[in-house]
Every structure is written in structure tokens, then in C-alpha cells.
């Protein structure tokens, strides 16, 4: 990055540590695959309330899709990364790589 180039912008929705962890975990799933809320909660070691707050922000941005359904009489919530979320995560990782790749040349 030259002196006249601004550093790449980081998506503030994804940049929060907890949301970055959520998006990274969901990105590991195949496109169109989803994960049950309790499995995601356990994987990330988050409380249900904390995960719900971050999922709401990601859903508002169009990055995740939340599906509430039933298995028999038991309610189940599934979470999936949307195409928009995958693209946002890809852009975010490119921006981070650009920042880190240019960090060695800074004084």
C-alpha cells in the first residue's frame, strides 16, 4: 500500500470478535447448509443470549438466515450464512490480508 492509498475498510458488522467467529464458523458449512442454534452455541462457547444478539445484527445485515421450525413438538432454530454473508466474509478476509500483507512495509 502506497502512502497515498487508504487502508482497506473492514466491515463493522463482521469485525466484532463474536460476529467474526459466528460468520467464520458458518462459512465452514457448505453453501445452503445450516446449523442448529444449540450446536453453534456450543461450538463457539457462547451463551444463548449473547449469540442471539449477534445473530440479530448479522440477520439485519442480510448475512445470516434464521429458520425457526419444529421437530415433532420441539421448536428448533437453524442458522445459515446467506450468499451475501459469504461475499461479505470473503471481502472481509481479503481486506485483512491486504492490511497484514502491507504491515511489514510500514515504519
pLDDT at 34 over 90: yes
pTM: 0.86
pLDDT band for 105, please (50, 70, 90 cuts): low
Q: 12-84: which CATH topology?
A: Arc Repressor Mutant, subunit A (1.10.10)
* Residues contacting 46, CB < 8 A, separation 6+: 18, 54
Residue pair 68/77 in contact by the 8 Å Cβ criterion: yes
With pLDDT > 90 as the criterion, what percentage of the chain qualifies? 79
All three cell numbers of 104: 511489514
> Structural domain boundaries of the chain?
12-84
Amino acid at each position: 500500500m502506497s502512502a497515498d492509498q487508504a487502508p482497506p475498510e473492514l466491515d463493522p458488522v463482521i469485525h466484532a470478535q463474536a460476529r467474526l467467529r459466528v460468520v467464520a464458523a458458518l462459512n465452514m458449512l457448505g453453501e445452503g447448509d445450516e446449523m442448529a442454534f444449540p450446536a453453534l452455541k456450543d461450538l463457539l462457547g457462547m451463551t444463548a443470549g449473547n449469540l442471539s444478539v449477534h445473530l440479530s445484527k448479522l440477520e439485519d445485515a442480510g448475512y445470516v438466515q434464521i429458520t425457526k421450525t419444529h421437530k415433532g413438538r420441539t421448536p428448533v432454530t437453524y442458522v445459515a450464512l446467506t450468499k451475501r454473508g459469504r461475499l461479505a466474509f470473503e471481502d472481509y478476509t481479503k481486506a485483512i490480508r491486504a492490511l497484514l500483507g502491507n504491515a511489514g512495509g510500514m515504519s
